[in-house]
Structure 1
Amino acid sequence: MTTLTVYGIPTCDTCKKAIKALEGAGHDVTFRDIRADPLSASEWDRFIGQFGDRLVNRASTTYRGLSDWMKASDAEEQLAAHPTLMKRPVIETEERLYLGWDSGVQAAFLE
């Protein structure tokens, strides 16, 4: 099938579910822990360019704990200061990037 890179953190339940389902569907999955192997500035630029503010997980406890000043800053500043604010997972194929693990993303890989 396809070779995929999944970006996230190893404790993220959504990342775990996505990896298990992707591997079960026959995809070759490489996991990249964004804490242990941080994204470069060009990778962040590519992700933010693709997803914009949607890349920031505003439902997370980390986001809710941010100062009002940090909440008012742009996605690039927020993610630079707190990389785990990234909505997870980000799945990369040779052709494109996918954000999250909703039914639309699942349909692209599992059907």
Structure 2
Amino acid sequence: MQKVYYLQTCDTCRRILKEINLAGFEKQEIKANPISVKQLEELHQLSKSYEALFNKRAKLYKSMDLKNQDLTETDYRQYLLDEYTFLKRPVFVVDDTIFIGNSPKEIELLKAKLGQ
């Protein structure tokens, strides 16, 4: 399976999607088509952590003052389901490997996996 979860309005996501050959990828724009419980569970199985999928740079994270709260994996899961902006993006799933976020290192690992 090859899939990417992204946000169309995010400049960084758009830039990365242009860099990657997306032939054969299923694309899911998370604002128009929010992530389902089943999809989140699949991502969790690959990442082993809801916190790894959680975007701590989201404006809502700061405005809700979540950084000063002691969040559990259950809390992260619920916030990810409640609000699309909390998903660290883009998220690429290539076979049984997950690539989370937009760090240069993560994108290079993705490109290496895809042979690009």
TM-score range, shorter chain: 0.7 to 0.9
* Percentage identity across paired residues of the two chains: 22
**C-alpha displacement at 1:22, in angstroms?**
0.1
Instruction: Please tell me whether residue 10 in structure 1 is matched to residue 8 in structure 2.
Output: yes
**What CA distance in whole angstroms lies between the structure 1 residues aligned with 2:80 and 2:54?**
7
CA RMSD of aligned residues (A): 2.3
What is the aligned length? 105
Which of 42, 57, 61 lines up with 1:46 in the alignment?
Answer: 42
Q: Which residue of 1 aligns with 2:103?
A: 102
**What CA distance in whole angstroms lies between the structure 2 residues aligned with 1:18 and 1:45?**
25
Instruction: Give 4+ residue runs of structure 1 displaced > 6 Å after superposition.
Output: none
TM-score (ref. length: structure 1): 0.77
TM-score (ref. length: structure 2): 0.74
* Gap runs ≥5 in structure 2: none
1:17-96 pair list within 5 angstroms: 17-23=15-21, 27-28=22-23, 29-49=25-45, 50=47, 51-66=49-64, 71-73=69-71, 74-96=75-97
* Gap runs ≥5 in structure 1: none
**What CA distance in whole angstroms lies between the structure 2 residues aligned with 1:58 and 1:84?**
10
